[in-house]
Amino acid sequence: MASLPEFYDPDRIGTLFYPDVAAIAAQAETADLPPAEQDSRRVMLLIVDMQIDFCHAQGMLYVPGAIGDIRRLIEFIYRNAERITRITCSLDSHHPFQIFHPAWWVDSAGRHPPPFTTITAGDVETRRWQPVFQPDGSREYVRRLQREAKKQLTIWPYHVPIGGVGNALDTELWSAVFWHAVARRSPPVWWAKGGIPHTEHYSILKPEIEIAGEPQSELNQDFIHSIEEFDALVIAGEAASHCVLETVEDLVEVFRHRPDHLAKIRILTDCTSPVRHPQIDFQAIAQGRFKEFESMGVKLTTSQAPL
């Protein structure tokens, strides 16, 4: 599909509004696209965490550049709707009390750490920061992050609360996903992640540290099996430095010895942006890792390149 639907308004990206769902469905039905089940080449578009809290300037953990990422991704969806078989969206979803939220930790004066504070194994050993919840498990968690060479624990602003406005997809992007579902007769798939209180959960495949007894803590085999059904996996989302990066990291690890599957993966580099941190250059970290993924067979492309 070369043209954009009448209801699409790029100026509304990054704003809150109530979409005219009936009008979107009506225009989707008149698009006269073939059902997705007829596709001879099956393409999955994975949208990682393009939620209001990450993508709107007033969001709790806004990623600079996300508005442009969404616009390019929406137009990519409309241009390539006939080629996209399924859209899968992940939703980062958190409780108020999680190990990376301020309320979980205090200093010796009982003050919570400000957002973007890094808590190291040394900090918990010297009791610079003390966990309010699950003290033994929390200290061991930070030590495990260091032992297993994971990202150090970052305290994030409260974000994407379960049931809250910030948890939802950007409205204009949601409208495009809904339009595609009706036009191709292909319901979108939604994956919620991040609800385990005592671990971070960047990747759609698994959390940073496995937590015994937590079903979401295990490798997401359902998602891996679904990838095997497709000929291409196109990835966009926020943030390039965290949830997109860690998702691709896990995919590369899973398919390390299956180059045919690595070759399926395409990252839309103009539809993802890094977290901006006052001390850490996350952009450089993400770009470096993406180049390593490319050397292993993953394709780096843009929303303008032919699908």
Same domain, 117 and 40: no
Average pLDDT of 256-261? 94
Average pLDDT of 66-80? 98
Q: Exposed (0-12), middle (13-18) or buried (19+): which is 222, by Cβ within 10 Å? A: exposed
Same domain, 111 and 146: yes
The CA distances from residue 16 to 12, 51, 58, 69, 239, in Å, are 8, 12, 11, 17, 21
Average pLDDT of 264-271? 98
Interior angle at CA 124, CA 122 and CA 125, nearest 5: 60
Full DSSP string of 76-99:
HHHHTTTT--EEEEEEE-B-SS-T
Chosen domain end from 136, 154, 172? 154
Q: What is the pLDDT of residues 36-57, one digit of tens each?
A: 999 999 999 999 999 999 999 9
User: Can you give the CATH number for the domain in which 54 is found?
Assistant: 3.40.50.850
What domain range includes position 110? 102-154
User: Quick check: is 241 in a domain?
Assistant: no
Same domain, 84 and 114: no
What pLDDT score was predicted for residue 207?
A: 94
| pLDDT higher than threshold 80 for residue 77 | yes
Chosen domain end from 119, 136, 154? 154
Same domain, 35 and 65: yes
Mean pLDDT score of the chain, rounded to an integer?
95
Same domain, 77 and 127: no
Number of domains in the chain: 2
Q: Binning pLDDT at 50, 70 and 90, where does residue 1 land?
A: low
Average pLDDT of 2-23? 94
pLDDT higher for 86 or 146?
A: 86
User: Quick check: is 13 in a domain?
Assistant: no
User: Quick check: is 251 in a domain?
Assistant: no
What pLDDT score was predicted for residue 2?
A: 56
CB neighbourhood size of 167 (10 A): 18
What pLDDT score was predicted for residue 265?
A: 97
Run of H or E residues at 43: strand 43-48
Q: What is the pLDDT of residues 119-172, one digit of tens each?
A: 999 999 999 999 999 999 999 999 999 998 788 899 999 999 999 999 999 999
Average pLDDT of 190-201? 94
What pLDDT score was predicted for residue 210?
A: 87
Same domain, 52 and 117: no
Q: Exposed (0-12), middle (13-18) or buried (19+): which is 147, by Cβ within 10 Å? A: exposed
- Least confident interval from 37-51, 80-94, 166-180, 201-215: 201-215
Chosen domain end from 139, 154, 169? 154
Same domain, 139 and 263: no
The CA distances from residue 64 to 56, 68, 238, 276, 279, in Å, are 9, 9, 10, 7, 16
Q: How far apart are CA 287 and CA 5, in angstroms?
A: 34
Average pLDDT of 235-247? 97
User: Quick check: is 74 in a domain?
Assistant: yes
Which DSSP state fits 51?
A: B
User: Quick check: is 243 in a domain?
Assistant: no
Buried b (16+ CB within 10 A) or exposed e, 17-45: eeeeeeebeebbeebebeebeebeebbbb
User: Quick check: is 116 in a domain?
Assistant: yes
User: Quick check: is 14 in a domain?
Assistant: no
Same domain, 205 and 117: no
Same domain, 210 and 131: no
Same domain, 149 and 227: no
Same domain, 89 and 132: no
